[in-house]
Chain A
Amino acid sequence: MASKLIDEYFREDHLPHIWCAGCGHGILMRDVAQAVHNLGLDKDRVVLVSGIGCSSRAAGYMDFNTMHTTHGRALAFATGVKMARPELEVICIMGDGDASAIGGNHLIHAARRNIGITAIIFNNDIYGMTGGQYSPTTPYGEKGTTAPYGNIDRPFDIVKVAEAAGATYTARGTAYDAVRTTKLIEEGIRHKGFSVIECASICPTYYGRKNKKGSAVDMYRWQKENSVSVEKAKGMTEEELKGKLIVGEISRSEFPELTEQYQKIIEKVQGK
């Protein structure tokens, strides 16, 4: 089964990928392929836009129209693609630094506009590609090469930010729980407006080592043991939820999608 997915959705001549052994990004990339497969999308109609980072390298491995752009700007490029050709299925893969630091403003505004793009964020709580500097999602007190004495910034909750900014579908999955995460991505793509799926990844090479999290297996085990479903979280206190990953569909709301609204303007102006 897995190999059939590889045949159909990956560019085999460009594999193996550059990711370290144990890295969560490969699993998440597979989840994206599985979601596209489950939805039966035409590959020619799928545009995958990424930024810069280990996570963003996924674009080069996947057999769609792919655009590996500049650091933080994937959503801005994708906005141009989607506005120009709304019939295309536009998906963005970004890292946590990519999407929430340098690209944070684009995330907020894509959400505010409710443009029909699916934003998938591979969040490993660290800048992987540049060697382990702390990111906007590095937990308080944890270490990075640029936070040698512990991070004193408060981390972002990307899902909360996206929801507050107007994303009409938000969800959180993990690299550990491929089945659930695939479903969430699938729902995100199916959703008409702007959707954000934060996917907890792992970076054993930098985050893991710097913070003594053990092996990649230990880090996946941590994800398993600390994931709490949205349903279960409802009955838990804030104290109990500290340090936990709330997984599942977090929010859904209604607002007209941007390119559909613009089409109406065109029709009105042209008197159709």
Chain B
Amino acid sequence: MKQMKLMQGNEACVEGAIAAGCRFYAGYPITPSAEIAEGCAVRMPQVGGKFIQMEDEIASCAAAIGASAAGVKSMTATSGPGFSLKQENLGYACLTEIPFVLVDVQRAGPSTGLPTSPSQGDVMQARWGTHGDHPAIALSPSTVEECYTLCIKCFNLAEKYRTPVIFLMDEIVGHLRENVEIPEEGEFEIVNRTVPASPAEAGPAYACKNGSLIPEMAPFGHGQRYNVTGLIHAADGFPTNSTEIADAQVKRLVAKIEENLDDILAWEETDLEDAEVCILCYGGTARSAQSAVEALRAEGIRAGIFRPITLWPFPGKRLEEISRKVKKVLVAEHNNGQILLEAERVIKNNCRIDFIGKVDGTVITPDEIVRKVKEA
């Protein structure tokens, strides 16, 4: 039997992580993500997991990666300035292929910005925040229930693809309280990294077997005694200056995402079958868009919503198809135009593109969307 529970988005994220098998949390307090740390401090020991408050976000990110290398699923959460601080070690996890989940409950920036105000200003940072070419997976929840279910998905993707996954929440969903239908254990998939059967069968630590793009991963203590390094490394895990290996390694890291888009990409389409206007939005913004669509339809205006759930990789192919059928795409987001850039890139001249962006810390209202849709 499913269980209904009134929950806050941040709280649902904690419960989703635990359901996914997360047993280690490291963090540093910051609003609007602080409830995730507080929740983990209470919940982790109850389930035999560990919580630690580190001295800063750099250390929290490092500790989460260290725990995962030791074989324990891990998470760290932050907002705004803390997300910036985590970037170097995020890149380390990309290159060393150590899975973990990094939650960013976005708040308005830049800098300390508007500490408790909603924003979606970290979308591009989630894609390109750490230096160098690297893979990126980022999911955006728009309901409290998704804070739970998509958090599980984040862990599954991290484990499956041996890569960090960013859970890009926003203040709107993080602090929202609503009823959540909690799935029973066994009703959702749990993915665990593939561990080599034995040290003897393990082979080189970063060698991909049977045409896979993802190496198996032994936890420290397993007996394989391999080397992990943030330097470009060969299949044996040791640094190399080979230009061919460098090229192949970076390209494989990107390819393991790009070649599995069918498995990774997620989005939601609402009322798009007959739509002339497509509202492109995600996260908390989708809530206003939903009300706007209802109002517009009541007036006979055929509007619908395209909501990417994976912002990275971006479901561009599907958006392109939709853009051929509608008269216009209205991009609505709480920033100065970040997913807008992706929309422009894929839509090109297929249809008109309009934009509503807010950077003042207030929420885009259904009314504002309605007015923008009606604009000639």
A270 near B45 (CB under 8 angstroms)? yes
Q: B56 contacts which chain A residues (CB < 8 A)?
A: 105
Residues of A49-66 whose CB lies within 8 A of B: 49, 52, 59-60, 63-66
The secondary-structure label for the interface of chain B is mixed
Q: B64 contacts which chain A residues (CB < 8 A)?
A: 80
Among candidates B26, B199, B225, B229, residue contacting A68 with C-beta atoms closer than 8 Å: B229
Q: B24 contacts which chain A residues (CB < 8 A)?
A: 80, 83-84
B229 near A60 (CB under 8 angstroms)? yes
Among candidates B52, B66, B221, B227, residue contacting A66 with C-beta atoms closer than 8 Å: B227
Over the window 40-84 of chain A, the binary record of Cβ atoms lying under 8 Å from chain B Cβ atoms (1 yes, 0 no) is: 000111010100100000011001111111100100111111111
Q: A52 contacts which chain B residues (CB < 8 A)?
A: 230
Interface pick from B69-77, B139-147, B280-288: B69-77
Over the window 36-68 of chain B, the binary record of Cβ atoms lying under 8 Å from chain A Cβ atoms (1 yes, 0 no) is: 000000000110101010111011101111111
The range of chain A's interface size is: 35 or more
A109 near B70 (CB under 8 angstroms)? no
Q: B229 contacts which chain A residues (CB < 8 A)?
A: 59-60, 67-68
A73 near B227 (CB under 8 angstroms)? no
Q: A255 contacts which chain B residues (CB < 8 A)?
A: none
Q: Does B89 contact A (CB under 8 A)?
A: yes
Over the window 10-38 of chain A, the binary record of Cβ atoms lying under 8 Å from chain B Cβ atoms (1 yes, 0 no) is: 01001000000000000000000000000
Q: A44-B225, A47-B220, A68-B230 are in contact. Are A77 and B70 (CB under 8 A)?
A: no
The secondary-structure label for the interface of chain A is helix
Q: Does A262 contact B (CB under 8 A)?
A: yes
The range of chain B's interface size is: 35 or more
- How many A-B pairs have beta carbons closer than 8 Å: the answer is 138
Q: How far does the Cβ of A162 sit from chain B's closest Cβ, in whole Å?
A: 15
Over the window 139-174 of chain B, the binary record of Cβ atoms lying under 8 Å from chain A Cβ atoms (1 yes, 0 no) is: 000000000000000000000000000000000000
Q: Does A5 contact B (CB under 8 A)?
A: no
B45 near A67 (CB under 8 angstroms)? no
Q: How far does the Cβ of B338 sit from chain A's closest Cβ, in whole Å?
A: 27
A73 near B69 (CB under 8 angstroms)? no
Q: Does A233 contact B (CB under 8 A)?
A: no
Task: Report the Cα distance A63→B236, complex, angstroms.
Answer: 13
Q: Does A39 contact B (CB under 8 A)?
A: no
Q: How far does the Cβ of A78 sit from chain B's closest Cβ, in whole Å?
A: 6
Contact sample, A vs B, 6 pairs, CB 8 Å cutoff: A44-B221, A49-B66, A67-B227, A76-B58, A77-B69, A78-B66
Residues of A whose CB lies within 8 Å of any CB of B are 11, 14, 43-45, 47, 49, 52, 59-60, 63-70, 73, 76-85, 87-88, 105-106, 108-109, 262, 265-266, 269-270
